[in-house]
Amino acid sequence: MEIEKYKEKGFVLIMAIILIVLISSAIFCYYVKYIKLKRRCKKDIQKNKAYYIANAGLEMFYSALIQIVCTTIDTRGTPDRDKSDLP
């Protein structure tokens, strides 16, 4: 009988250790996935910010270009031409 009690206690101890290892590994895997997702989100946000900044700069460039061309046309009646274009 005493041997059976020791076997049962040993079995319970082994099962508890296995259960702790499984739960710890599951928590570790979840944490690693969370960290990777967080890093990916930060990179995506930085890419989006860069895209919108570049897009805004491009819009400003085109609006300035159009404004310069329109101003030149209004003041002289025709856009500026190089002297080489004249006959």
Q: pLDDT, tens digit, for every residue of 1-42?
A: 566 666 677 888 889 999 999 999 999 999 999 999 999 988
Contacts of 71 (CB under 8 A, 6+ apart): none
> How far apart, in whole angstroms, are the C-alpha atoms of residue 18 and residue 21?
5
The verdict on pTM exceeding 0.75 is no
Terminal CA-to-CA distance of the chain, rounded, Å?
118
> Which of the given ranges, 8-12, 23-27, 71-75, 81-85, has the highest pLDDT on average?
23-27
Dig out the tokens for 58 from the structure.
């491009």
Contact 64, 56 (CB under 8 A): no
Is the pLDDT at 52 greater than 50? The verdict is yes
Per-residue model confidence (pLDDT) at position 28: 96
Per-residue model confidence (pLDDT) at position 82: 54
> How far apart, in whole angstroms, are the C-alpha atoms of residue 79 and residue 58?
22
